[in-house]
Every structure is written in structure tokens, then in C-alpha cells.
Structure 1
């Protein structure tokens, strides 16, 4: 069952040193560490759900390198974590011997946060893109054990002249709606997240749409309390840090 979910941005800048001597998202980093630590505190297993090019279970031993973003390991202020993975659904070790493999940058960021939070228990990683079965995958992730999710993804990267991609006037309204839904976390808000238009999300360079749909599937119909310790649009990309905690009898296993 799901006990909590930490929703964190997918930007590599959460890892100290990724921007050189600059540190544009220090407040987001502090908040992300806070919610990840809180989410895993009551869990027996953790699954990272992160955006990817396709739906893929990471297997074997992986490293949290940010090399895919052009950031050498030596630049980072945190040691690069290395972990052996279980299957995301908790059905056993994922296998895969040999040299540690690479993750996409969003999943690698989550590994860094988990390492700093001190999580060394069972861990799975699921990288997702838009697909029809994301809610079902979310339900499968929490079918056994006490599971915490670390859900990685951000809003639009098209805010203003400093954005990573060209400005899009639709971005503010889209991100306002999503942030309101994440902060509400009630049944109607979750339905709204599940119905996120994948085409529009892609046009707005939103990375969180598919991971949020997995999250909604994992939550099901239980009651959730949401807190939003940080949100903002540094350098033209919208990021939010959110904690969803399962409340009442479900959280106690009743």
C-alpha cells in the first residue's frame, strides 16, 4: 500500500555543483530533501517514478550520474550514489550483473535525494512516458508492502524569455491548474491530473504529466493530505515540491 509520495522537480540543479558556483534552486533543494525524508520514514520499500523516453523498469546496479546532462561527476557537491535495484513492483531483485548502468537525469536526481535522506532499503525505479496503462502501473507498484513513491517531474519549461524553450502564453494557466490540483490532492483534483492532455503537456515541455498519472493510480481512492513547501519558476521552468501523505486507517494498514 502507498504510505506517502514525495513529488520533486526533475532539474539536475537540485544537486549541488550542477550549476557551478551558482545555486539557483537552493530553496527547492531543501524542500525536496524535506519531503523525501518524510515520505520514506514510514516505508518498507521505495519506488522512484520518473519521466523517460519510454516506459522502462531500470534493472541491476545503477549510478546517479548526471553525465547525460553534460555535468561531470567531479563537478558535483554530493557523491554519485550507486544502488542495486529491486523490481518496482516489489516482486524480487531485478538482476543485471556487470558495470553499473546509467539512469535518465530525473531518476538520477531522485537517487541523489534518497542517498542524502539516508534511504538504503529496497528500491525500484520506473521511468515512464505517456501510455494507456500508467494508472494500472501505479496500482501495481503499491500492491504489496508499505511503499513510498518519489515522483519526479516538473511543469512547463516555457515561461518567459529566460525559459529553456521558447515562451508559450499557455504555460502559466496550465501550471497554475496543476499546482492547485497537487495542493488539493482530493478525488476531483486527482481526476484532473489523470486527465492531463499529453499533447498539450508535450507542447509545453511538461515532464511531470506521465509520472503524475502513475501517482494517481497508486493513490486509488484513499484519503490524502497534501503540503507544498516550495514552488516557483526559476529560469523560466516551473517546479514544485509536494508531499502527499496517506491519512487515516489506510496509512496504519487498516
Structure 2
């Protein structure tokens, strides 16, 4: 049963030290830590849901690393993080950000890490992930990465309106808003470099038809990408 969810950005900049001496994500980080702490307060287990090249659940000892983003883990201000036992499995950068946040909040409970790609069945996956006991979700993903000129991707004039409507629905979380989230085309999200599309489909499936109280804590465009921190509490 889903009890609460933290919606956090997927930027590596949430982990201090990743941007060198410049810390542009301090406000986002503070809000993200608060949201994650609230998501596990009444949970017996945590599921980290993050975007990935294919849909899979990591097994074994899941190791957080930002190496794929070109950031040496020794550069980070937070200590190394791993959850579980067995053979090492390296989490994606997005999932690693979630794991770092969970560890920083002092979470040591049962933890699953699921990376998801756009496709069918993500709502059903979300429902299955919260089927056993009180569960918190840590949902990692961001809005459009095409807010130029500060980002690496070309500016797209559709990005501001898209993200405004998206954040309104995520902050509403009522039945109509959740329906709109599931109806947003995956190809449009891909064209606008929206990384949260697949994780949010999982979130909506996990919430089911239950009432949700949502709160938008902060939103910020960093390096051309729309990032936000929200909380969902399920009745």
C-alpha cells in the first residue's frame, strides 16, 4: 500500500560536490531531503523509481554512482551509498541520486530500485510495487530539458507551457489531473527531453483510485532543465 511519495529531480547536482565549488541546487536539495524524509516516515519499505534505458529491477547490492555522468564518486561531499547484499549492481545516475537522498535521510530499511523506460504496463507495475505493506515511493525525474540558452539541449518554445501544465497536474493529483498525466504522449515528452514521464506513470498506478494530497515545494530551472520537488500523501 502506497502511503506517500517524494517526487524529486534526476539531476546529479542534488548530490553536493557534483558541481564542484558551485552549488546551484541547494534549494532543490533541501526540499528533496524534506520530501524523502516525509515519504518514509510511515513506510516499512521504500521503492526508488527512476528513468532508465529499459525497464528493470536491480538486484543484489545496488551501488549508487554518478560515474556515468562523468562525476568521480570521490568528488562528492556525501559518502558512498549501497543498498542490499550480494553481487554489485550499478544504479543509473537518476536512481543513484534517489539512493543518495534516501541514505542522507537515514533510511536503512528494505529498499527496491526500479528503472523504467517509456512503454506499456507502467501503471500496473506501480500497483504491484506497493502491494505488500506500507510503502513509500521515491520518484526521480524532471520536466523539459529544453529551456535554453543555459542548457546543453536546443531551446524549444513549447517547454514553458508544457512544464507549467505538467507541474499543475502533479501538484493537483486529483483524479482528473492523474488522468491527464497518463494521457500525455510519451513521444512528446521525449521530444522535450522530459525524463520523468515513465516514473510518473508508475506513481499514478501506485496511487490507484485513492485520494491524494499533493504539495509542490519548489520548482527551478537549472542548466536548461525544469526541476521540481513535490510530495504526495495517500489517504
TM bin (shorter chain): over 0.9
Offset of residue 228 of structure 1: 1.1
Structure 2 unmatched runs, 5+: none
Offset of residue 4 of structure 1: 0.2
Offset of residue 101 of structure 1: 2.1
Distance (whole Å) between structure 2 residues aligned to residue 55 and residue 214 of structure 1:
11
Distance (whole Å) between structure 2 residues aligned to residue 172 and residue 25 of structure 1:
20
Distance (whole Å) between structure 2 residues aligned to residue 235 and residue 10 of structure 1:
13
Query: So what's the TM-score if we normalise by structure 1?
Result: 0.91
Query: So what's the TM-score if we normalise by structure 2?
Result: 0.98
2:145 aligned with 1:157: yes
Aligned position for 2:16: 16
Distance (whole Å) between structure 2 residues aligned to residue 112 and residue 164 of structure 1:
25
Q: Deviations over 1:161-201 (max 9, x none)?
A: 11220000111111011100011010000011111210010
SS of 2:223's equivalent? helix
1:220-235 correspondence runs (5 A): 220-235=208-223
Q: Deviations over 1:122-148 (max 9, x none)?
A: 000110001110000001011111000
1:76-115 correspondence runs (5 A): 76-84=76-84, 97-98=86-87, 100-115=88-103
Aligned position for 1:69: 69
Aligned position for 2:160: 172
Runs of 4+ residues over 3 Å off in structure 1? none
Distance (whole Å) between structure 2 residues aligned to residue 233 and residue 73 of structure 1:
25
Higher strand share: 2
1:115-134 correspondence runs (5 A): 115-134=103-122
Q: Deviations over 1:25-81 (max 9, x none)?
A: 100000000000011010001000100000011110011111111100111000010
SS of 1:233's equivalent? strand
Higher mean displacement: 202-211 or 231-240: 231-240
Aligned position for 1:91: none
